[in-house]
Amino acid sequence: MSDRTRIISVIPVYNGERFIRATLDSLAAQTLRPDRVIVLDDASTDGTAQLVETYEPLDCELVHGKKTRGCSTISIRLSATPPGATTCITSAPMTCCCRISWSG
């Protein structure tokens, strides 16, 4: 097992067809790429989901909501996330990174 911290990028999006490719390209261009990319699609009605599904430079996990709930109410279980992983929540115009820690 590597001593390097795992990086997980979570991207909430709604009708982001115009911007999602640039967001994913930016992640793919990083010197240290994320180990996991999760795109939370809040029931987009444009081509967002198709772009994410066919994006090749990164292996993206698409979580597609069936009805719009707003990104603040989307929940995802990161049960496979190792203790101490850094999770980045990416959303235009900001990115928030936090270190996830568990005790016990």
From CA 48, how far away is CA 35, in angstroms rounded?
A: 22
Helix ranges, the chain (H)? 17-28, 48-54
pLDDT tens across 31-85, in order?
A: 988 888 989 888 899 999 999 999 999 999 998 877 766 644 444 544 455 566 6
Q: Token pair of 7, please?
A: 């990086």
96 pLDDT exceeds 60?
Answer: no
Q: What distance in Å separates the CA atoms of residue 57 and residue 83, rounded to the nearest whole number?
A: 27
Contact 13, 44 (CB under 8 A): yes
pLDDT band at 17; cut points 50, 70, 90: very high
Q: What is the mean pLDDT of residues 24-34?
A: 91
Domains of the chain with CATH codes: 7-99 (3.90.550.10)
**Rounded distance, CA 49 to CA 35, Å?**
20
Please give the average per-residue pLDDT across 17-39, as a whole number. 91
